[in-house]
Amino acid sequence: MKGLYCKPGDQGDVKFVLQETNVPTNLGSHQVKVQVKSCALSPVDFKLYEDLKFEKEHVPVGREIAGVVLQVGPKVTFFQPDDEVVGILPLDAEQSGLCSIVVTDEYNLVQKPEKVSWVEAAAVIKDGLRAYTALHTLARMAAGQTVLVLDGAGPFGVLAIQLAHYHGVKVLATASSEHRYLSASLPSARVIRVWDSKQDLVDSCLEETGGLGVDIIIDSGVRLYEEEPEAQRHCPHKHDLLTLLSVGGHWVTTEQHLQLDPPDSHILFLKTASLSFLNDEVWKTSRAKLGRYLHILKDVMDKLCTGTFRPQLVDPVPLYEATVSMEMVQRKQARKRIAVKL
């Protein structure tokens, strides 16, 4: 049985390989054996593995899976054989999600609704969790507020926009080359085309809010300095986002190395605004949060089943194309891809 793995190192020269792996023969008390039907290919955060001291020769790739339960451990209460499930494998998982069969704890999975396809389930589960974490847990969004979603056409941005709209929040979103998709599929969002030099992010947002600023900002990268690499040319400068925050506003950032100087902190103080870092992996670090974590995953599937979540899907790739697809995803030459079992 083959799975997809990579060797930690320089992210600019990462190699992904399909290699043979074995399925554990004995199940633990709360473990479940799952036949994988689809698996999402998302970028691997090597820095996170390093920070958590997960030193592995080869890191398993593909953690967002959907499949059918084959066997359950003696103390498993959530599932039984033939149940359709979806979930996220933990960071310390030994198996790749692209293996035909994986073994994981029952607490990493939830039931997949019958109406939801394998591809949709794997594509949405992690980005849906990120959207909930950003908007509900961190930003405490409420009806009538205004949210700015940067890179709104990305897999995470699309779900964040849909979740905010569902709760009665006004949405502003930026987009570059995919602005046509965003405008057509999410007419509720006011799209700001950052690639167009005639549209300034700060001016557009202040105009939309009557000069009051936005209540919530969710970024997808931030420029810390005026001169940044080409890959970050569309990212807003941190000063722009501080300017856009309303009184009592909340900025949720994905930038791990965000540095605020004393003048930046003073702006937050004057506005009584706050800053949070978005790391959806944190749910697995505390057993006290496990119940809420599983509740979020279940609600993500419910919203996918009812049509509240409508992900932007690309054609799935077969297993033999997973290596090339993962390399493109890791280099940010392509969005998230979904591998399916033929």
Residue 103 pLDDT greater than 80, yes or no: yes
Both 45 and 169 in one domain: the answer is no
Q: 81: how many CB neighbours lie within 10 A of its CB?
A: 11
pLDDT of residue 178: 62
**Residue of higher predicted confidence among 154 and 249:** 249
Are 115 and 157 in the same domain? no
How much is the mean pLDDT over the chain? 88
pLDDT at 238 over 80: yes
- Which tens digit of pLDDT belongs to each residue from 85-99? 999 999 988 899 999
Which residues fall within 8 angstroms of residue 320, CB to CB, at 6 or more apart? Answer: none
Determine what percent of the chain is predicted with pLDDT higher than 90: 58
Place 124 in a pLDDT band, splitting at 50, 70 and 90: very high
Task: Tell me: do 119 and 201 sit in the same domain.
Answer: no
**Confidence category of residue 232, pLDDT binned at 50, 70, 90:** low
Residue 29 scores a pLDDT above 70: yes
Structure tokens at 10: 């320089």
Distance between CA atoms of residues 41 and 339, nearest Å: 7
- Distance (Å) of CA 223 to CA 153, 231, 260: 19, 10, 12
The predicted structure's pLDDT at residue 180: 63
In a shared domain, residues 172 and 52 = no
The residue to which tokens 């009557």 are assigned: 210
Task: Report how many domains make up the chain.
Answer: 2
Tell whether 306 is covered by a domain.
no
Residue 302 inside a domain? The answer is no
Cβ-count burial 207-237 (b if 16+ within 10 Å, e if not): ebbeeebbbbbbbbebbbeeeeeeeeebbbb
Q: Is residue 155 part of a domain?
A: yes
In-domain check, residue 23 = yes
For the chain, percent of residues with pLDDT exceeding 70: 90
Q: What pLDDT score does 14 carry?
A: 78
Residue 85: the pLDDT is 97
- Residue 226: pLDDT band with limits 50, 70, 90: low
Angle CA 90–104–22, to nearest 5: 105
- Asked if residue 297 is part of any domain, the answer here is no
- CATH number for 24: 3.90.180.10
One domain, residues 197 and 262 = yes
Q: Which two tokens stand for residue 269?
A: 């103080």
Q: How far is Cα 263 from Cα 18, in angstroms, rounded to an integer?
A: 50
Q: Vertex 73, ends 71 and 76: CA angle to 5°?
A: 105
Same domain, 151 and 265: yes
Same domain as 203, residue 98? no
The 10 Å CB-count burial string (b at 16+, else e) for 27-59 is: eeebbbbbebbbbbbbebebeebeeeeeeeebb
CATH of the domain at 193: 3.40.50.720
**Residues 120, 153: one domain?**
no
* 73 and 196 inside one domain: no
Show the domain range for 75: 2-124+313-341
In a domain, residue 152? The reply is yes
pLDDT at 74: 93
3-state helix, strand, coil in the chain (%, to 5): 35, 25, 40
**In which residue are the tokens 């054609």 written?**
315
Residues 164-216 pLDDT 10s: 999 999 999 988 766 566 666 676 678 887 665 556 889 999 999 999 999 99
Mean pLDDT of 18-22: 85
Q: Given this model, what pLDDT does residue 182 score?
A: 66
Establish if 286 belongs to a structural domain: no
Cα separation of 146 and 308, whole Å?
Answer: 19
Tell me the pairing of strands 64-72 and 84-88: antiparallel
* Range in 19-28, 38-47, 109-118, 258-267 with the lowest mean pLDDT: 19-28
Residues 192 and 67 occupy one common structural domain: no
257, 235 in Cβ contact below 8 A?
no
Give the pLDDT confidence score for residue 9 in this predicted structure. 60
| Residues paired with residue 40 on neighbouring β-strands, in sequence order | 64, 338
